Amino acid sequence: MKPNQIKRLSRLYQRQFPTDGVYSNEQARELAELSTDTGRQLGLLIDRQGKVSMVLVGDNRSIYIPELPRARMSSGRLRGLRLLHTHLAEESLSQEDLMDMVFLRLDSVAVLTVSGGFPVAVEAAHLLPPNPDEKSYELFPPVRWDRFEHDLGFITTAIEDEFGRQVDGQGLGSDEDRALLVSVDETPRPVQELSLEELAELADTAGLVAAGTMIQRVRQRNPKFIMGKGKLADLEVRALQANASIIIFDQELTPTQIRNLADITERKILDRTQLILDIFAQHATSKSGKLQVEMAQLKYTLPRLVGKNRAMSRLMGGIGGRGPGETKLEIDRRRANDRLARLKDELKQVRRHRSQTRERRAKAGLPVVSLVGYTNAGKSTLLNTLTQSKVLAEDKLFATLDPTSRRIRFPEEREVVLTDTVGFIRRLPPDLKEAFRATLEELDSADLLVLVCDASHPEVEEQVEAVRAILEEMELNEIPSILVLNKWDKLDEEGREAMRRVFPEGIPAAAVDRPSLEAVVEAILGNLPWEKQGV
């Protein structure tokens, strides 16, 4: 560009634009003349006081908006900047212009069409608060450049007021704790809805508020963003309307997808695996539990330690190996691998210790009864009621991570060891399955498995099937088992009859009510090898 053009562009920073419109007539003529003279599209980012915050110079077809400062950013607020830019051809607002407005949360975007050095037409758009039509933005039709009559400043204030009213009405608290739950899958919509209900429970356990959901059924997931760019724009607007600062996907995201999503949005991106790992990290209290969680987190993070430059220098001599040494990324990766090796050694020691404990139990001749089941089915409550213990039992997923064993004396001087284990869940991350092998090894020595299910849960059949599939995968399906239909008191007569048809072998019980557990105790006594105690 010529020095004179640069000087004229710099003067734009001194202009005061109207707060209730797009520009004055003189400013429109100046922009049209400059854009024609340089042969480039020009863009201005203007704050709410009418001051030019940034001047952008593109090529003849587009402009590039660099990363903007995060000042005044809240998940439920607009950025406080509007974009005004020129088009050299007679074209209206492009899809790319609208995407910029969505992902950058701009107050509005306006395009001034230029021809022969003169302004021709103007077109503008702005985002919308939640509305019955579920529209993302309002697009004003193009008008002659000097006939634009909409007060964009007033519209912006009204939009933010509406966002504030929506949030106050929902009573959701801090925006840092609000999450939008998203499912992008090939499965039918009802299946996705049920899976999102479980994801909402996981979010609640992690201390987050599910501020909204979004479902997309696809034939094939987009390898770059998991969903298409247009649907991503809808997702961003939905997150803005829900005042959510976190987006949680019900599917596991690839490292590439996480990186691309992080580049395109300023919200925190999580997937189902990260959420479960965070819950485990919050609930792990014992040394072994913390070791298992850390190992799973490292295994998840390691393939996601990816730099933007693939040509990294290496520690080796000779031609092609000289350079500054290891990059920070390589150091992080090497440290993670070293830590993983140490964690594996420590977990082997944990397994040995638990193996010795099991051997001592075997020598004492005490039968072992293990409680298994879907997470939050009521296993810990059942253990507490039967043994009069005070093991942590909460109405949350994964409240129990570490195995807990208690002796219990039955009538006729019979004693057993009752063990509570970590709850199962569908689509448990593979790394967590391996990390928690030390915990689930307690099941290997069990003489009887008590499969506890939440009979009042709408997906009880799927949950029981998931638990049985995991037991079969772990080659534990040969161990005798009984099925306890917990939370029987929450069912009406119709629900109870349905459960009897589906699970005729099930034993009705309410873990909080000790008298209701008599049938469970009788079933345990009837299925144990009492010859261990010489009975």
- The amino acid sitting at 338 is D
Spatial CA neighbour of 405 closest among 419, 391, 425: 419
246-249 vs 268-271, strand pairing mode: parallel
As averages over each run of 10 residues, the pLDDT of the chain (535 residues) reads: 90 92 92 92 93 92 80 64 89 84 89 92 90 84 91 89 69 67 91 89 86 88 86 86 87 87 83 84 71 78 58 38 51 77 80 69 71 84 78 53 66 74 74 61 77 89 88 81 91 91 91 86 80 48
How far apart are alpha carbons 369 and 532 in whole angstroms?
Answer: 13
Asked if 423 and 400 touch (Cβ cutoff 8 Å), the reply is yes
Which of 319, 178, 191 has the alpha carbon at shortest distance from 243?
A: 178
In this structure, what is the dihedral angle of CA atoms 240, 244, 246, 251, given to the nearest 10 degrees?
-80
The 8-class DSSP code of residue 134 comes to -
CA-based nearest residue to 406, from 388, 381, 424:
388
Residue 405 tokens, joined = 């064993």
> What was the pLDDT predicted at 528?
77
Q: How many whole angstroms separate alpha carbon 56 and alpha carbon 248?
A: 34
The helix (run of H) or strand (run of E) holding residue 252 is none
**End-to-end CA distance of the chain, in Å?**
97
> Is residue 398 within 8 Å of residue 279, measured between CB atoms?
yes
Residue 367 near residue 529, CB atoms below 8 Å? yes
pLDDT for residue 140: 92
Distance (Å, whole) CA 464 – CA 396: 18
181: nearest Cα among 201, 211, 224, 221:
211
Instruction: List for the chain the helix, strand, coil content (%; round to 5).
Output: 45, 20, 35
Cα angle 136, 187, 427; round to 5: 105
pLDDT at 357: 67
DSSP state of 226: B
Hey, what are 385's tokens? 């009621």
Q: Residue 292 has which token pair?
A: 């298992």
Neighbour tally for 211: CB within 10 Å: 25
Helical spans, DSSP H, in 184-325: 189-205, 229-241, 255-264, 272-283, 287-301
Output the six-digit token pair for 403: 């195995």
Q: Exposure pattern of 131-166 as b/e (b: 16+ CB <10 Å)? A: eeeeebbeebebeebeebebebbebbeebbeebeeb
Q: How many residues does the chain have?
A: 535
Q: Of 507, 465, 502, whose CA–CA distance to 486 is shortest?
A: 507
Run of H or E residues at 355? helix 328-364
Provide the β-strand partners of residue 250: none
The answer to whether the beta carbons of residues 482 and 351 sit under 8 Å apart is: no
Specify the amino acid at residue 308: K
**409, amino acid identity:** R
C-alpha–C-alpha distance, residues 449 and 437, integer Å: 17
Pairing mode of beta strands 448-454, 481-486? parallel
Is the whole model's pTM more than 0.85, yes or no?
A: no
For residues 340 and 444, give the distance between their C-alpha atoms in angstroms, rounded to a whole number. 25
| Main-chain dihedrals φ then ψ at residue 449, nearest 5 degrees | -105, 130
Of 166, 92, 168, which Cα lies nearest the Cα of 125?
92
Q: What's the token pair of residue 517?
A: 């557990």
Beta carbons within 8 Å of 368's beta carbon, 6+ residues apart: 358, 361, 416, 417, 419, 445, 446, 447, 448
CA distance linking residue 508 with residue 128, whole number of Å = 51
- Confidence at residue 350, expressed as pLDDT on a 0 to 100 scale: 74
